[in-house]
Amino acid sequence: MPLAQTREIAAAQRLDKVRYAIRDLALVADEVTRQGHTVLSLNVGDPNIFDFQTPPHLIEAVHRAMKDNKNGYAPSPGIREAIDSIRAEAARKGISSVQDVFITGGVSEAVDICLSALINPGEHILTPSPDYPLYSAVLSKLGIPITTYDLNEDDGWQPDLVDIQRKITSSTRAIVLINPNNPTGSVCSRRMLERLAEFARRHNLVIFADEIYDKLILDDNQQHVSLAAVAPDLPVVTFGGLSKNYLAPGWRIGWGIVSGEASAVKPYIEGVHRLLRSRLCANHPEQYAIKPALEGPQDHLIEVRRKLHSRRDITMKWANSTPRVSCVSPRGAFYAFPRLDIPEADDVFVKELCLQKHVLVVHGSGFGQKPGTRHFRIVFLPDEKTLEKAYQGIAEFISQRYG
């Protein structure tokens, strides 16, 4: 009889700091569901589980590709028609110095590949705080210490330029900018982008510009500006995809646009393509939706923005009228990041809220925040009736628990 394996197989130590608060909370929600309750989920930025649907002409394009047997491997960077369409979209956004475009399995894979192709041991990348936890997860996986810069809540969650300047050292390789921001919903002004670009020039930095929500601007008097458009000389990787603007997160189609001086970015692009080849390709049939998405009808965006504008306003009306809650009004995407005036940690608040009122949000500490502050993230994608019910539950919980 062979001996049974009894030694515990430990996970790699570098994973100790990998957290993904958005999904980790599902365990609490599962417990509430097992007790027979319905959970009002305001935690996941997936439009398709609410009253949003992928535009039909995109579905038709993917269906046609599958019927035409576009079901094998694609070229590692992506299919030509999709890459050409992304280049044309970059031009419409004012990005004039595009050197490369590649298609990935969602923006998540683009971020993983682009950070991995740049960073060496002993170096660091500045990421915003609060931020989308993907960036810290990738850096933790790579064994790179997390170095954050503050977003200034008193300035509409704009990047804190003083803090950025303080954090830049000779080991800094890049700055991450999420614009519109997840989790705060902030949108950077052109002047802010110009000042960030000046920091990058001065210190020879790459900027990773995550612009996955660039078409979801909530106010008519606000316009999204791409960082690469105001700084064509800088090495910038602009991330985009079908998930949010085109309501197809499950298709896992994202892309990266590398811009800047050709000679400066050439070695880096070669490194990115080595990693692209090593993972073969992104989903093949779904790539045929990129051209019709970017060049076809955009009618769905009118209705999407109308819904989000209304739901943002409901969210702010609630936040402004609820004791112990304050909130900077979101200007893009579909997130709000209210601040709490409570005597206990925000992760305790979120867990107890779900257990007692069956409303699921995400604690601010899961995204990073200034020490001593407490926040939580709301996804205001659900319909108005669901939001109002959820907000009533949160207000009751705050009143009952904290007075």
Query: How far is residue 101's CA from residue 282's CA, in Å, rounded to a whole number?
Result: 13
**Domains contained in the chain, CATH given:** 13-52+299-402 (3.90.1150.10), 56-295 (3.40.640.10)
Q: Is the pLDDT of residue 113 over 90?
A: yes
Q: Is the pLDDT of residue 102 over 60?
A: yes
Query: How far is residue 236's CA from residue 208's CA, in Å, rounded to a whole number?
Result: 6
Q: Which among 39-43, 282-286, 366-370 has the top mean pLDDT? A: 282-286
Per-residue pLDDT tens over the stretch 247-279: 999 999 999 999 999 999 999 999 999 999 999
Average pLDDT over residues 47-63: 97
Q: Say if residues 332 and 312 touch (Cβ distance below 8 Å).
A: no
Query: Mean pLDDT across the chain, nearest whole number?
Result: 94
Query: How far is residue 310's CA from residue 331's CA, in Å, rounded to a whole number?
Result: 12
Average pLDDT over residues 300-304: 97
What 3-state DSSP class applies to 285? helix
Average pLDDT over residues 79-86: 98
Average pLDDT over residues 85-109: 98
Work out whether strand 40-41 and strand 359-360 pair parallel, antiparallel, or are unpaired: parallel
Query: How far is residue 126's CA from residue 164's CA, in Å, rounded to a whole number?
Result: 8
Q: Say if residues 235 and 263 touch (Cβ distance below 8 Å).
A: no
Confidence of residue 343 (pLDDT cuts 50, 70, 90): very high
DSSP 8-class letter at 329: P
Q: Is the pLDDT of residue 1 over 60?
A: no
pLDDT of residue 131: 92
pLDDT of residue 185: 97
Average pLDDT over residues 134-154: 95
* Element holding 114 (H helix, E strand): helix 106-116
pLDDT of residue 20: 61
Query: How far is residue 401's CA from residue 126's CA, in Å, rounded to a whole number?
Result: 37
Q: Say if residues 150 and 129 touch (Cβ distance below 8 Å).
A: yes
